């Protein structure tokens, strides 16, 4: 019985060593937190887990995309699937050239920790350090997180409450529970 366990353990060790992890070439970068990998000759859209990068039309949106491109484009990537998002994209932790790019984007100030979905305990500290060093998007005093930007929230000017953009483009803020237009 002991020799069977030893043989099973040896076989498992041999398989782990003999079966390398294959990298998948990164063939596209959509934005600062989304890329396309070539997996089994098929494109696979991958959303970086735990982070949210500026939208393309936001300040630093293009720079965030370029940062991810510098880290991964035309390189081999490995990924650990976390789940799938509502758009059918694979949500994963991605490594390119030995760099865990989810963390690298936050460390470079090219993405926020996504508090609603974050499961990486190291990311908040990386964001605090990037903010303190005023790296990337943190050169702005009050950058708008993408989850607010997508819903029309605009950062308040000093002394104002949060300004929103309505479905038809009108801008308003809430005062005493009512919409006040013109901010």
pLDDT per residue rounded down to tens, the chain (183 residues)? 555 454 444 444 444 444 345 689 999 999 999 999 999 999 999 999 999 999 999 999 999 999 999 999 999 999 999 999 999 999 999 999 999 999 999 999 999 999 999 999 999 999 999 999 999 999 998 899 999 998 887 655 545 556 666 666 666 666 666 666 666
Catalytic-residue membership of 171: no
Q: Strand 90-96 relative to strand 24-31: parallel, antiparallel, unpaired?
A: unpaired
What residue ranges define each of the domains in the chain, with the CATH number in brackets?
20-142 (2.40.50.90), 152-183 (no CATH)
Report d(CA 166, CA 56) in Å as an integer. Answer: 20
Output the pLDDT for position 47: 98
Output the pLDDT for position 16: 41
Catalytic-residue membership of 89: yes
Q: Strand 34-39 relative to strand 163-165: parallel, antiparallel, unpaired?
A: unpaired
Output the pLDDT for position 169: 61
Output the pLDDT for position 153: 72
Output the pLDDT for position 12: 44
Output the pLDDT for position 174: 66
Per residue in 5-41, is it b (16+ CB within 10 Å) or e — as a string? eeeeeeeeeeeeeeeeeeebebeebbbbbbbbbeeee
**Residue written as token pair 């650990």:** 80
Catalytic residue among 47, 103, 107, 108: 47
Asked if 102 and 112 count as a contact pair (C-beta separation under 8 A), the reply is no
Catalytic-residue membership of 47: yes
Q: Strand 99-100 relative to strand 90-96: parallel, antiparallel, unpaired?
A: antiparallel
Output the pLDDT for position 62: 97
Catalytic residue among 89, 103, 107, 108: 89
This prediction has a pTM of 0.74
Tokens of 91: 């949500």
């Amino acid at each position: 019985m002991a020799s069977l366990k030893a043989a099973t353990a040896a076989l498992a060790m041999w398989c782990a060593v003999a079966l390398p992890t294959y990298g998948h070439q990164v063939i596209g970068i959509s934005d600062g937190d989304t890329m396309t990998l070539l997996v089994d000759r098929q494109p696979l859209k991958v959303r970086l887990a735990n982070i949210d990068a500026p939208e393309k039309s936001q300040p630093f949106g293009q720079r965030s995309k370029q940062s991810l491109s510098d880290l991964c484009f035309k390189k081999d990537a490995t990924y650990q699937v976390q789940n799938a998002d509502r758009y059918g994209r694979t949500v994963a932790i991605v490594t390119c050239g030995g760099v865990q790019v989810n963390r690298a984007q936050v460390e470079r100030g090219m993405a926020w920790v996504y508090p609603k979905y974050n499961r990486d305990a190291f990311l908040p500290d990386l964001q605090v350090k990037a903010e303190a060093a005023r790296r990337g998007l943190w050169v702005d005093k009050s950058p708008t997180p993408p989850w607010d930007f997508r819903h029309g929230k605009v950062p308040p000017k000093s002394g104002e409450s949060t300004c929103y953009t309505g479905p038809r483009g009108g801008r308003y803020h809430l005062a005493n529970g009512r919409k006040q237009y013109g901010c």
